[in-house]
Structure 1
Amino acid sequence: HPAVFEVLENTPPGRGDEIQLTDALQTLATREGEGGGVYGVVFRGRRYDTGDKLSYLKAVVTLACESEDLGPDLRDWLGEHVRQFQSAPVG
């Protein structure tokens, strides 16, 4: 299996008391002779930060709305659902 998984298992929690992939990659970058090393690629597509509940939901809904099989029905349902909340009294 890729060496990053072993490094992740031994990486102590970092920011937010979570195990950070960036910390593991930094460790792995120094292990080039041990099957490590890190390569990068310029990514020009969309990326989603799913580190909190709202961002995760936005990513899931966006991708589902764009899918051929779920998109049309989900977009219709979302439109109805949003209109329901827009016309409902606050509180």
Structure 2
Amino acid sequence: MNDSPTDQLTFEQALADLEQVIRELEDGQTGLEEALARFETGVGLLKRCYGQLTQAEQRLLLLTGVDAAGQPITQPFEHAPTAEKKPKLRTRERP
């Protein structure tokens, strides 16, 4: 397994770093090589965030009721991936 710096980040840290990368790229003040490097970093951070969300989702349990002893009855959470939805295209508003 490849140990990258993003492997040790919490979800919140990875998300904050990803937001910073996005701001830098949207600013447009970065040269081409640096922009490509930041983009690659952003992709790694995004994968990290998605991986952590997937792990969290797998840990969720769906509460289905309460037994006679008052203990919760649970079953594994099953959810269809949201990536199946067609993403909205981002367009810039014209002045």
- Above 0.5 in TM-score? no
Larger Rg: 1
Q: Which has the higher contact order (CA 8 A, sep 6+)?
A: 2
TM-score, length of structure 2 as denominator length = 0.28
The structure with more strand, counted as a fraction of residues: 2
